[in-house]
Structure 1
Amino acid sequence: MLSALSRARFDGRLHHVSSVAVAGDYADTFTEAMFQEGQDLPHAYHRSKFESEKLVRESKVDYRIYRPSSVVGDSKTGAMDRIDGVYYSFGAIKKLAYALPGWVRLPVPRIRGRFNLVPVDYVADAMVHIAFSDTDARVFHLVDPKPPPFVKMADMFVAAAGGPRLGPAVDIAKMPGAKKTGALMSMPPSVRELRDAFVSDLGLPTQGLGAMNIKVRLEDGNTQAALAGSGISCPPLRTYAKTLYRYYEDHLDPMKQRPARYRRELGGKVVLVTGASRGIGLATAHMAAEAGAEVLLVARDAAKLEAVAQEIRAAGGRAHAHATDLSSFDAIDALADAVLAQYGGVDVLIHNAARSIRRPISASLDRFHDYERTMALNYFAPVRLTLRLLPSLRERGGTISHVLTMGVLMPAPYFAAYLATKGALDAFGDSLMAELQHEGIHVSSVYLPLVKTEMMAPVEEYAGRSDVMTPRRAATMILDGVVDRRRRVMTGMGAYFAFSNRVMPATTSRILNLLERAFPLDDTPSEFPLEKAFITNAIGGSPV
């Protein structure tokens, strides 16, 4: 553009939008008069903004340069066109708010510095006003003149999400051995890999953190002078933080854009789903096919399986039926051979098929075969199929999804045979990730609550339950784990039980023991009829 303006003998004024990123890693007050101050430019974004502003400065045209800080949405409406900057942290904030209630005080590390945010409406209004003003100044910082401390800023957004209050701040640097540990931890490549994994777990871009500079202080004297008397000023973050977060939740949250995410990650992939003839497996197969995946349907009933395949094809999807008795190791081997021969392998392996038994341990003294049959289908079958398909999954950087149950997270009565198999599969997945994560293999463990399927139909006490999940909602949890490569997927209630069982195991088991005595399986009278009536009225049936 500068070359074109030069050839055209342009004699007007060029208005160039730069960024405070030109300050790079500068750790003091950076004024509007400053540019090349010996600062390092550690991130590509810093370098691109610095070089573009340098070209403008070295040109012969008259110019005004505007340097906004990190731009966020409109302070009045929250409107924003994309996820960028501080918005990358909102996913982690949402997880935190989901896990801990607002009355909790959460200690955090003391972080000295401020991250300057500025709403887009202030930037636009200020630029228009300054562009037509008579000022002789040429560079203007469009920033928050009084940004809150970093931890306070984070606390505002966490509060907006309904999460815990952040604080007190703990000065980790003053803890014994902190400096020596910090020096050691900065050396090995393994630490960087661990850091990247941690950042990725929070949903943050590993490369984007390098663009943050919380130590620089930004002076905006030229801007304040030019805006004097205009009524234009940067509003305090506390007045619009909730507005920004609400807009994110309603319009930008990736969870609201599942179809596009699923198509992007599953389109053209080979996805194998066991237990695909009904319930959760059926819903998962349909959803994966809708996203453009080639779905391999596995279940025992050939007629039902072919009907599902025809439904998917009629809707424009691709599906292939592979009737298999997963309780037979020979049948599993034949399935694996067919999959490898016909498709070359799979990209996603979803272990959903399972058998459930609801029976007290004391009533199973002569029914050891229940444990054997349940373990054969729920644990040995998925392990054998995984081992047979693992080489192809390693080649493709594939994902293995274990459809588990929330009961694994707590000491639930009546389901010992079933929960032991799911717990074993969960542990197998943990070991698999620990061994092969560096190769790109991913294992997603999905802890489902009670789901309205044929499996729960025989239990009369569950018939009126109002809190059961639909198969399609369960399918979204499974595919979220696959598409977003989430290690563990659970509901808020699941997270609560996992936390409770870790922190207060004796109390948690006592609570479940009381529920077992309130809701006995046989004709034994309830020990707590009042509590039983209250709970039944609340959820419509037995909680165990």
Structure 2
Amino acid sequence: MLTPLNGKTVIVTGASRGIGKGIAEVFAKQGANVAVVARDLVNAESCAAEIRKNGGKAEAFKGDVASLDSMNELAEAVVNKFGGIDILCSNAGIFPNSLIENMSVDEWDIVMNTNARGTLFAVKACLPYLKDAEYGRIILTSSITGPVTGYVGWSHYGASKAAQLGFMRSAALELAAHNITINAVMPGNIMTEGLEEMGDDYLKSMIATIPLKRIGHVEDIAYAALFLASKEASYITAQTIVIDGGQIIPESLEALV
């Protein structure tokens, strides 16, 4: 059993929906003070209110990971509310579809600024406070797409997710001196609003490639993040956990039984 997170404060970016919301809910169940962060404060408040209704501690905050000023203001606001920052779940990300031949520079920059540079800004803003924590934890939401697999139309997304892992490995060396660990979860296909928008044909094609024969749940990612944020994970840093139902294992569909 993991040590409860009572009294610990976690920031979850991109927490108003999908994987981020699942992470926020699971951390709240473990006793953490949860800062629910999203660009849309109304959506963030909806998530925070739901957590409070279920007995958890949560407050909504507006924040844009693509802006360092916004992240600095967020970190200061969270510290003013909860007294410190112990855990950062850098989860915010976007995944628009665009073929290379049609992709504009602006499209590339928007994805990279949100997913890759946004990771830097979130970590940079929280770092002074994580240094003051009993132990600091940073968990990045990367993906199997980019670091391991590819998908048509997601070259910018894949590049951004691979960039997160390169950042993580060097960051771990800097952060270790301050008793801060940084690790990443790498989701496969997880049932979120965004995945539902891909349509039934996409879902069926993905399930056909997954040995466990189902799409994952947000809780599958959240509990892996919870472990990496725990006191018990103190000797783990710069590592990744693939959470994909075995999707990356088979060489082809013929390898599935």
Which of 139, 145, 148 does residue 407 from structure 1 map onto?
A: 145
Q: Give the alignment of 1:299-310 within 5 angstroms.
A: 299-310=38-49
SS at match of 1:292: coil
Mapped contact 2:4–2:31 kept (Cα < 8 A): no
Aligned: 1:470 with 2:210: no
Greater gyration radius: 1
1:210-262 per-position Cα deviation (integer Å, ceiling 9, x unaligned): xxxxxxxxxxxxxxxxxxxxxxxxxxxxxxxxxxxxxxxxxxxxxxxxxx42x
Instruction: Show the counterpart of 2:24.
Output: 285
Task: Describe the shift of the 1:326–1:384 C-alpha distance in structure 2 as closer, same or farther (beyond 3 A).
Answer: closer
Q: Distance in 2 between matches of 1:494 and 1:481?
A: 22
1:390 is aligned to: 127
Match of residue 493 from structure 1? 246
Distance across 2 between alignment mates of 1:358 and 1:296: 30
CA 1:411 to 1:488, structure 2 compared with 1: closer, same or farther past 3 Å?
closer
> Cα deviations across residues 98-118 of structure 1 (Å, max 9, x unaligned)?
xxxxxxxxxxxxxxxxxxxxx
Query: Displacement, 1:349?
Result: 0.1
Q: Give the aligned length.
A: 241
Q: Displacement of 1:494 after TM fit?
A: 6.7
2:114 corresponds to which letter in structure 1?
Answer: L
Give 1:368's match in structure 2, choosing from 105, 120, 123: 105
Residue 424 of structure 1 deviates from its aligned partner by: 1.2
Amino acid at match of 1:291: Q
Deviation at 1:361, TM superposition (A): 2.0
Q: Deviations over 1:462-513 (max 9, x none)?
A: 233433211111211221222242432124737748xxxxxxxxxx8xx7xx
Pairing of 1:340-359 with structure 2 (within 5 A): 340-359=79-98
For residues 493 and 409 of structure 1, the distance between their equivalents in structure 2, rounded to whole angstroms, comes to 15
Gaps of 5+ in 2: 208-213
User: Within 5 A, what are the aligned runs for 1:22-33?
Assistant: none
Partners of 1:344 and 1:392 within 8 A in 2: no
The answer to whether the aligner puts 1:318 opposite 2:70 as a matched pair is: no
Deviations 1:433-463 (A, max 9, x none): 1222243110111111111112223323323
Contact kept in structure 1, 2:65 and 2:121, CA below 8 Å:
no
Query: Whose RCO is larger (CA < 8 A, sep 6+)?
Result: 2
On the 8 A contact 1:447/1:494 being kept in 2, the answer is no
Query: For residues 325-350 of structure 1, what are the alpha-carbon distances to aligned partners after superposition, in whole Å with 9 as ceiling and x for unaligned?
Result: 33333322221222233334310000
The answer as to 2:212 corresponding to 1:459 is no
SS of equivalent residue, structure 1 residue 320: strand
Are residue 297 (structure 1) and residue 36 (structure 2) matched? yes
- Once residues 62 and 249 of structure 2 are traced to their aligned partners in structure 1, the CA distance between those partners, rounded to angstroms, is 39
C-alpha RMSD of the superposition: 2.5
CA separation in 2, counterparts of 1:419 and 1:319?
32
Q: 1:274 to 1:331 in 2, by over 3 A?
A: same
Q: Residue 19 of structure 1 corresponds to which residue in structure 2? A: none
Partner amino acid for 1:446?
Answer: V
For residues 4 and 179 of structure 2, the distance between their equivalents in structure 1, rounded to whole angstroms, comes to 15
**Alpha-carbon separation, structure 1, partners of 2:176 and 2:69:** 29
**1:146-161 superposed matches below 5 A:** none
Q: 1:402 to 1:386 in 2, by over 3 A?
A: same
**C-alpha separation in 1, matches of 2:248 and 2:81:** 40
* C-alpha distance after superposition, 1:287-313 (max 9, x if no partner): 111111010110122222212212211
Select 1:481's aligned residue among 228, 231, 249.
228
Contact kept in structure 1, 2:24 and 2:34, CA below 8 Å: yes
Distance across 2 between alignment mates of 1:329 and 1:444: 21
What is the alpha-carbon distance in structure 2 between the residues aligned to residue 471 and residue 360 of structure 1?
Answer: 28
Percentage identity across paired residues of the two chains:
28
Distance 1:310 1:356, change over 3 A: same
2:19·2:221 contact (CA, 8 Å) conserved in 1? yes
The answer for the alignment partner of 1:226 in structure 2 is none
Maintained 8 Å contact 1:266/1:292: yes
Please give the residue correspondences for 1:63-78 in structure 2 after superposition, counting only pairs within 5 Å.
none
Task: Tell me by how many angstroms 1:385 deviates.
Answer: 2.0
Instruction: Tell me the distance in 2 between the aligned counterparts of 1:473 and 1:320.
Output: 23
Question: Structure 1 residues 409, 493: CA separation in 2 closer, same or farther (over 3 Å shift)?
Answer: farther
User: Distance in 2 between the 1:346 and 1:360 partners?
Assistant: 39
For 1:435 and 1:327, the matched residues in 2 are separated by: 22
- Matching residue's letter, 1:462: Y
Cα separation, partners in 2 of 1:330 and 1:452, compared to 1, 3 Å: same
- Taking the aligned partners of 2:52 and 2:196, their CA distance within structure 1 comes to 29
String of CA shifts for 1:358-414, please: whole Å, max 9, x gaps: 3332332xx121110011111112211211211211221200000110123324132
Q: Name the TM-score, length of structure 2 as normaliser.
A: 0.84
Provide Cα deviations, 1:407-438, integer angstroms capped at 9, x if missing partner.
Answer: 23324132211111111111111111122224
What is the TM-score when the length of structure 1 is the normalising length? 0.41
Distance 1:481 1:462, change over 3 A: farther
Match of 1:444 among 183, 193, 197: 183
